[in-house]
Amino acid sequence: MKKHLFSLWILWPLLAWSLWFAACEKKAGIPDEQDSFQRDTAGIFTDSRDGKKYRWIKIDNHIWMAENLAYTGRDIRHVTDIHQWVNNTEYHGWSYYDNNPRNANTYGVHYQWEAARRACPPGWHLPTREEWQSLIRTLGGPPHAGGKLKETGTAHWNYPNTNATNSSGFTALPAGEYSGYSSGMGKVGYWWTGSGHQDRAHVIILYHNHAECFTMNLCKTLGASVRCVKD
């Protein structure tokens, strides 16, 4: 009995410190391991234009595609020539990574900005910068959202795929980018927002070696991925 009492006497300061530290974390706004957002609905829908099926996920009040878009319809232009791509001021081009259609099965296709705006199925739209920012805030802000968006493991993301949990169900994949040539698959993912001005628009960026979610203002000729959100 005395031995147990002695052990409790030794451990009590450590227990008290742990409780105090946990309380300070909560007070400081450091996120708990358990996400506070609601992810209560998911499913599959069919794009009526080409019959392709996509997974979707509801995060709080928005329904997002849980796969990169792979639409290649007539209202957007398939461009494979590097000069035509970089000089396309209509920004309505799309391309496969490495010009290989098989890459679209997993990673979708790359769209210039105007093509991205046209490519979402009826009843869906290219999310605005504000809609992306709302999603990122829901997932704990830029320092934490990247890991919660990224698919786990290294089947598609390069090592170390920092802090990837995919707790959102968004399953972000690193399709890289197309700028007349392909680069970055496995290392980085770029997703268009619908918010742009003149020849530039905002892009959401995730990296294999960062947990953070980044936003940049890039040229509309960039070929980036698309995730649509339901109207």
Please report whether residue 10 resides in a domain.
no
Tokens of 106: 């997993």
* pLDDT digit string, tens, across residues 194-225: 999 999 999 999 999 999 999 999 999 999 99
Please report whether residue 51 resides in a domain.
yes
* pLDDT digit string, tens, across residues 160-170: 999 999 999 99
What is the reported pTM? 0.83
Please report whether residue 20 resides in a domain.
no
Domain that holds residue 182: 41-230
The total domain count for the chain is: 1
Please report whether residue 210 resides in a domain.
yes
CA dihedral (194, 195, 198, 202) positive or negative:
negative
Q: Which spans in 29-128 are helix H?
A: 82-86, 104-107, 113-119
The confidence band for 4, taking pLDDT boundaries of 50, 70 and 90, is very low
- In sequence order, the β-bridge partners of residue 188 are 207
190 closest CA partner among 107, 120, 123 = 107
Please report whether residue 5 resides in a domain.
no
* pLDDT digit string, tens, across residues 18-38: 333 333 333 333 333 446 556
Please report whether residue 24 resides in a domain.
no
Q: Which long-range contacts (CB under 8 A, 24 or more apart) does 54-59 make?
A: 55/171, 56/230, 57/168, 57/169, 57/170, 59/135, 59/138, 59/139, 59/168, 59/169, 59/170
Please report whether residue 164 resides in a domain.
yes
